[in-house]
Amino acid sequence: MRLLYTLLWYLLMPFLFVHLWWLGARAPAYRGRWRERLALGYSQRLDGCVWVHAVSVGETLAAAPMIEALLQRYPQTPLLVTTTTPTGSERVSALFGDRVHHVYWPWDTPGVISRFWRNFNPQLVILLETELWPNLIAAAGKREVPVVLVNGRLSARSHRRYARLRGLLQPMLESLQALAVQTAVEAERFVDLGAAASRVTVTGNVKFDISLDDNLRGRARQLREQFGERPVWIAASTHPGEDEVVLAAHARLRRHCPGALLILVPRHQERFEQVAELVARQGLGMVRRSLDQTPGADIAVYLADTMGELLMLFGAADIAFVGGSLVPVGGHNLLEPALWSKPIITGPVLHNFTLIADLLDEADAHRVVRNEAELAELLQQLLGETALRQQMGQRAAEVVQAHRGALVKLLAILDRHWPSSH
């Protein structure tokens, strides 16, 4: 079945290049460094590194505490971090600078993976969450290089979909040396698909171990001071179909709270211009963060059209709406606003973050809305009831604090598989 998978990759490659070119129309960085996708033209070589693969900004942030700990724990071992997106690449550079090596993830064909291995010779591969690639894992197995899945997650929907590909998934999962997964339910799903039960460990979610440093707190405080005393809410990681709902809800809210300001953060940078045009059509006054503009009293929307700043932006708001939840995406990270002690609002579509949503619900730190009317009504209530807003935010922060500790368990697993020569 892996042969069919590989043939499909070769058939899709021309279309993948076309897709990158199309993405580059709005985000020019997608049109650069294409040779790295094919494991060609590297300016650096490594030998005996540990390879960490994260996809984009979210996975990079999730991996950040682990990478930081590994840099301190094994200072002599080169760390190679790959991402698939330019925004992920930018985040790696911002977080770690030259302390790690970064290139784009190589496309999962045997030839590409072989070239990648010859150049970097990784001795341990660490994959994040759901990044399971058959040819990559087969190449590691052929070279007797351990592969570890960390912060593994597998929703019920993904489990059903992958079950139909058991012939492809089972050999791959059987060859993994360790799976550090978020919950016992997800452990059962991975075992059902073919992972060895003895190699699966429930560590919890390493995203709970993220922290706020003084620099981040200071930047959030400075931004909030620019906004003044007005009520501020953030709509984070929004997708097409959500921006319209958010803006309509904000227009309703401003009838009751004329000074309310919305920090609008589209999920993908290639949509920044599109969302700016949408705000303009709604007749709402807007400034853009990329232009370093300060919103005056007449401004209704602060468009956060920069990358890698979402965690800081949560700190400048009173209430957080997290997107990807009013459309069939599955939600985004709910822990970042919780870390800032913010009350959290989402839509009902949260299959990628079921556990975290359930924990927040049990703590009464999270509310679900289904349309613009419900969103506007809830925002008005929370902005009008300071005690309720603060109580929800405090409970959200307590959820994060209560579930820390995944990183310690994860490091213990990685210790057992770390290259002995380093």
CB 24 within 8 A of CB 44: no
Report the candidate in 132, 127, 171, 175 with the shortest Cα–Cα distance to residue 149: 127
Q: Let me know if 312 is exposed, middle or buried by CB neighbors in 10 A (0-12, 13-18, 19+).
A: buried
Catalytic residue (choose from 36, 59, 90, 336): 59
User: End-to-end alpha-carbon separation of the chain, Å?
Assistant: 36
Q: 150: which 2 tokens?
A: 């960390």
Rounded Cα distance, 292 and 271, in Å? 19
Report the candidate in 284, 398, 285 with the shortest Cα–Cα distance to residue 340: 398
Q: 301: which 2 tokens?
A: 């929307």
- 234 beta partners: 263, 320
Q: 277: which 2 tokens?
A: 């045009």
Sign of the torsion angle spanned by Cα atoms 286, 289, 295, 300: positive
Task: Please say if 385 is a catalytic residue.
Answer: no
Query: Can you list the alpha helix ranges (DSSP code H) found in 84-183?
Result: 86-96, 110-120, 134-142, 156-163, 166-175
Query: Can you list the alpha helix ranges (DSSP code H) found in 257-301?
Result: 272-281
CB 264 within 8 A of CB 225: no
Rounded Cα distance, 81 and 44, in Å? 13
Query: Can you list the alpha helix ranges (DSSP code H) found in 176-232?
Result: 184-193, 214-227
Catalytic residue numbers, as ranges: 59
